Amino acid sequence: MSELHYLSATELAHLIRSRQVSAVEVVQACLARIDEVNPRVNAIVTLVAEQAMAAAKAADAREPDGPLHGLPVAHKDLVDTAGIRTTYGSPLFAGNVPGQDDLIVQRLRAAGAITIGKTNTPEFGTGSHTVNEVFGATRNPYDLSKSAGGSSGGAAAALATGMVPLADGSDMGGSLRNPASFCNVVGLRPTPGRVPVVSDANAWYTLSVLGPMARTVEDVTLMFGAIAGFDRRSPYAIKEIFAPEPEEGVAGLRIAWSPDLGGLPVDPRTAAVTATAPAVFERLGARVEQVELDLSDAEDAFRTYRAWNYVLSFGSLDGLGPNTAWNVEQGRKVTGADLARAEQARSRLYQRMAAFFDTYDVLITVVSQVPPFPVEDPHVSEINGERLPDYLAWMRSAYWISVLHAPAASVPAGFTPDGLPVGVQIVGRPFDDARVLRVARAFEQATQYGLRRPPL
Residues annotated as catalytic are 76, 151, 175
Q: Which of 407, 203, 172 is CA-nearest to residue 306?
A: 172
Q: How far apart are CA 203 and CA 182, in angstroms?
A: 31
> Cα(115)–Cα(31) distance, rounded to whole angstroms?
12
Cα 373 from Cα 390, distance rounded (Å): 16
The residues that bridge with 136 in the sheet, in sequence order, are 132
Say whether 303 sits in a helix, a strand or coil: helix
Apex 413 CA angle, 375 and 118, nearest 5 = 50
The dihedral built from the CA positions of residue 104, 156, 19 and 225, taken in this order, carries a sign that is positive
CA-wise closest residue to 190 among 170, 204, 160, 205: 170
The beta strand positions in 379-444, using DSSP E, are 382-383, 386-387, 408-415, 421-428
Other Cβ atoms less than 10 A from the Cβ of 66: the count is 17
Cα(86)–Cα(439) distance, integer angstroms = 35
What count of other Cβ atoms lies within 10 Å of the Cβ of residue 431? Answer: 18
Q: Name which of 415, 412, 404, 406 is nearest 441 in CA terms.
A: 412
Q: Is 453 exposed, middle or buried (0-12, 13-18, 19+ CB in 10 A)?
A: middle
Question: Helices (DSSP H) in 360-432: which residue ranges?
Answer: 396-402
Q: In 10 A of CB 87, how many CB atoms?
A: 23
DSSP state of 391: T
Q: Which helix (H) or strand (E) holds 146?
A: strand 143-147
Give the DSSP letter of residue 420: -
